[in-house]
Amino acid sequence: MAPRTNIDLAAHLVELCRAAGLSGHEAPVRSLLRKVWRPLVDELSGDRIGSLWGIRRAARRPAGRILLAAHMDSIGMLVTRIQDGFLFFAEIGGIDARVLPGALVQVHATRAGGSTPLAGVITSRPPHVQTADEKRKVTPVPELMVDLGLSAAQTASRVQIGDLIVFAQPPVRLGSDLLMAPALDNRASIAALTGCLAQLRGHALQWDVIAAATVQEEEGFAGAYSSAFAAHPDAAIAIDVTFGRQAGPPEWKTFKLGEGPTVSFGPNLHPQMGAALMEVAASNAISCPRDVMPLHSGTDAYAMQVSRAGIPCGLVSIPLRNMHTPVEVVALADVEQAAQLLAKFVLALDRKFRARLKVHA
């Protein structure tokens, strides 16, 4: 039977969003990805802290090496204290406290052994009983709790401090071409990476490709540091999400969904990587708006750029609405286009590209 090369990226992305994988606790999403990537690569490997690498070897040596990095961790919460059956929690990654009251969550309870998912809801006070002070403020995270609807004794016998809390919002198609789900930051980019690997299947490559699903991006880029060091690439591309056009933020900071993945420019990115990505986009009729970043890119590129003696980095981003909420939204077309852009970029890499990266004009 021929190996599967055409992957239903939408279905794959939904599956990725359903898998847990909070920063530092990426095992569920990693094992799912291992299964999907195995037929697409020559070798599966990883760094020492949990990042997963899918490696494609170049047809001939010597060859350049490119690292394509997308973080697989997501934001969430962690049980810090249990009182009267209620769970107090801390955030993992930057959570907006404003979206938490009334949010449905799942607690991965471990006290009884294994990991039992328990349904919970984050506390809120109805308007009827709010004090004047409560009406005026956003309830800070330390004053919020998860309610499992269980008695104090039932909770204490199942949950322990350190248990993980994830958003229970199921993935839902919005309109005809959008997907809404928690953890689309950054599972959308992981899906793009899978799509890229699927498209590279059967092609002889001039460069080695290391597709890395990195860990702990949301808490300080740990997996990007370790993967960039261990892989020692000639160049790297981070794949992440960027701000999608929505109500609220100024228009110039956001990108319309469905109009293509963005390519970034700024001190965190190598100008030749940006230029080369734009050239590949143009010659393959892929629409790619320019995303300019005057400072920190806020992505794995930030860590990879200063790994070892410095690594030229590019950044491809998928526009996403409502970042770091349970209702993140992307256009599936942008995920497909990002996969296409990455694959075409890899196929365009040749012997001369390393020299081009020395040009800083």
Tell me if residue 276 falls in helix, strand or coil. helix
* Cα 119 to Cα 167: distance, rounded to the nearest angstrom: 10
284 binds another protein (CB under 8 A): no
Give me the residues paired with residue 55 across strands: 43, 210
* Contact set for another protein, span 150-179 (CB under 8 A): 150-151, 169, 172-178
Cβ 156 to another protein shortest distance, Å: 14
Taking the C-alpha atoms of residue 247 and residue 134, their distance in angstroms, rounded to an integer, is 26
Binding flag, residue 141, another protein (CB under 8 A) = no
| Among 48, 61, 62, 137, interactor with another protein by CB under 8 A | 137
| Range 211-270, binding another protein (CB under 8 A) | 243, 245-249, 253, 257-258
Helices (H) and strands (E) in the chain, counts: 10, 17
Residues 55-94 that bind another protein (CB under 8 A): 83-84, 86, 94
CA 229 from chain centre, in angstroms, equals: 20
The binder of another protein chosen from 17, 326, 337, 353 (CB under 8 A) = 326
Q: Does 125 bind another protein (CB under 8 A)?
A: yes
Query: Is 187 a residue that touches another protein (CB under 8 A)?
Result: no
Reported as half-sphere exposure (CB side, CA atoms, 13 A), residue 131 has a value of 4
Between CA 243 and CA 237 the distance in angstroms is 18
DSSP, collapsed to helix, strand or coil, labels residue 91 as: strand
Using the rule CB under 8 A, is 294 a contact of another protein? no
Contacts 24+ apart (CB under 8 A), 109-113: 109/158, 109/159, 109/160, 109/163, 110/159, 110/160, 110/162, 110/163, 111/156, 111/157, 111/158, 111/159, 111/160, 111/163, 112/157, 112/158
Q: Which is nearer to another protein, 94 or 267 (CB)?
A: 94
The window from 27-35, 52-60, 147-155, 266-274 that contacts another protein (CB under 8 A) reads 147-155
**The only residue of 322, 340, 344, 349 in contact with another protein, by rule CB under 8 A:** 322
Contact set with another protein (CB under 8 A): 83-84, 86, 94-99, 101-104, 119, 121, 123-131, 135-138, 142-143, 145, 147-151, 169, 172-178, 180, 243, 245-249, 253, 257-258, 298, 321-327, 329
